[in-house]
């Protein structure tokens, strides 16, 4: 039973997914965003833990560039 204090929604109002299907602002996946309101507090805490892990890892597009691609 989730009678404890509600877990805050990490949404920042941007909702733009990158090539890894992660929001560029809150770092949730598309499915995590879609189902957030149905999650138990336990599941929401799990998602927050994943967000912290994702924030510690730069998005894939900033870790490597396409071969031969030069910024103009």
What per-residue confidence (pLDDT) applies to 61?
A: 63
Contact 33, 50 (CB under 8 A): no
> Does residue 44 have a pLDDT over 70?
yes
Contact 22, 29 (CB under 8 A): yes
pLDDT digits (tens, 9 = 90+) for 27-40: 999 999 999 999 99
Structure token digits, residue 14? 């941007």
Contact 20, 60 (CB under 8 A): yes
Question: Considering the entire predicted model, what is its pTM?
Answer: 0.75
Highest-confidence segment of 36-40, 57-61, 63-67: 36-40
pLDDT digits (tens, 9 = 90+) for 13-29: 999 999 999 999 999 99
């Amino acid at each position: 039973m989730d009678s404890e204090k509600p877990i805050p929604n990490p949404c920042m109002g941007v909702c733009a997914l990158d090539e890894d299907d992660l929001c560029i602002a809150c770092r949730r996946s598309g499915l995590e965003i879609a189902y957030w309101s149905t999650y138990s507090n336990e599941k929401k805490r799990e998602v927050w833990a994943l967000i912290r892990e994702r924030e510690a890892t730069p998005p894939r597009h900033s870790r490597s560039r396409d071969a031969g691609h030069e910024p103009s």
